[in-house]
Structure 1
Amino acid sequence: MADQRAELTWTDDQIPVSDRFDDPYYSLQNGLAETRHVFLDGNDLPARFAPGFRIAELGFGTGLNMLTAWSEWEKSGKTTPLSFTSFEAYPMDPADMSRALAAFPEITPWSTRFLQHWRGGSCDLGTLQLEVIEGDARETLPKWNTSADAWFLDGFSPAKNPELWGAELMQHVADHTAPGGTAATYTAAGFVRRGLEEAGFSVTRVPGYGRKRHMTRAVKS
């Protein structure tokens, strides 16, 4: 699994779409605004940032969510490392990441620094300690020995990638969430919300971004 790469097609306006899941990597309207609404606001960030804060993610993709969080970490004045761990089954080639991230000039200072050092696996950028764990999250997450303060649940659409949203995996997410920790996702699919609730999260359906009427916020009870 870990040696499989992302296979993608580019839309006319240069948005990468996964061939495997027939789903875009981010909103067709504004991927950066979507990330801020869903994953930052959905986890009450950057207000909760504190030394030692740890974010975990299902689906690294282009790295946009990580870069958005890291940029806000630095802009909030933090000088200690933000820990960011992402679980990704089909890593994207750095050249494709660079092409996708060029659409977001606001984060260019961070994407440039990241891409200069990124070779896959782990990366220490001073104020960011990044780890991308390749493989099926259903196999790799249970072996992870750390807990996150906030989760970005950003797999492809549950209708097209249901294995990344199952109840068993949501339980593993909960098991690797610090007390009072949170999770957020763009989807409001009923089976995803039920899986999070059964895993021990208090789940709320809130307004989504763009064409998505609702999204999901969760707090570990």
Structure 2
Amino acid sequence: MIWRDGDVPVATRFDDPYYSLENGLAETRHVFLAGNDLPGRLCPGFSVAELGVGTGLNLLALALEAEAAGVTGVSYVGFEAYPLERAELERALASFEEVSGPAQDLLAQWDSGAFVAQVGPIQAQMIVGDARETLARWGGLADAWFLDGFAPAKNPELWEADLMAEVGAHTAPGGSFATYTAAGDVRRALAAAGFEVERLPGFGRKRHMSVGRKL
């Protein structure tokens, strides 16, 4: 782990930042929330899953949106192979004052070995390990996916066709995904996994992103 521009964490393993250098929270809202039509679809029993928990910023943004919408009973499960230590997490989130409330919930219950936590109105869980193994063993179905691994060119394991097929198999009918990448291999793998894939304008300097609905 190294830090760029003050407190932006960069994974040395993948030489990639955990969130946008421009505005991480704005990126989350543009890509993962709006890309999945959230918070409009949130309702009791709605399930969100994520590949790549990272700093938990996507989870915290989701918690803010659910709270603002007055929706309870939403669950989140994140799959993460290399969880941050608590001190790293705290430093990475310190710049985002807007999420300080749910961030305190997350920090208070964070365990880099896996956790179950109440984060604002969200019942959250992190499953630690290689998602190519842990997702196949997960018994749930997600209504929305945040696909937020490091860039496909640097972290190809988290975008393999077999793993995207598992994403499709663990998506409820009419469920969705959103991701910041528009890489052709990823889009084709998600289409093969049963999604109707669409390319949309990306955030900041990224020209395009991808979204999709389960057919």
Tell me the TM-score normalised to structure 1 length.
0.94
Deviations 1:185-221 (A, max 9, x none): 0000000000000111000000000010000001000
The answer as to 2:61 corresponding to 1:68 is yes
Partner of residue 15, structure 1: 8
Q: Which of 128, 144, 150 is the matching residue for 1:150?
A: 144
Partner of residue 99, structure 1: 91
Equivalent pairs, count: 213
Deviations 1:44-77 (A, max 9, x none): 0000011111000000000000000011101101
1:66 and 1:187 map into 2 onto residues whose CA distance is: 19
Tell me if structure 1 keeps the 8 A contact 2:109–2:115.
no
Runs of 4+ in 1 over 4 A off after TM superposition: none
Cα separation, partners in 2 of 1:56 and 1:27, compared to 1, 3 Å: same
| Pairwise CA distance, 1:117 | 2.4
Tell me if structure 2 keeps the 8 A contact 1:70–1:82.
no
Computed over aligned residues only, the root mean square deviation of the Cα atoms, in angstroms, reads 1.0
Gapped regions of structure 1 (runs ≥ 5): 1-7
Tell me if structure 1 keeps the 8 A contact 2:36–2:144.
yes
Paired residue type of 1:94:
R
Partner of residue 89, structure 1: 81
Paired residue type of 1:195:
A
Paired residue type of 1:82:
V
Paired residue type of 1:218:
G
Q: Which of 193, 197, 208 is the matching residue for 1:203?
A: 197
Secondary structure (helix, strand or coil) at the match of 2:20 reads coil
Paired residue type of 1:156:
F
The answer as to 2:109 corresponding to 1:117 is yes
Tell me the TM-score normalised to structure 2 length.
0.97
2:3 and 2:82 map into 1 onto residues whose CA distance is: 17
Secondary structure (helix, strand or coil) at the match of 1:107 reads helix
Cα separation, partners in 2 of 1:152 and 1:125, compared to 1, 3 Å: closer
Deviations 1:133-181 (A, max 9, x none): 0000000000000000000000000000001001110000000000000
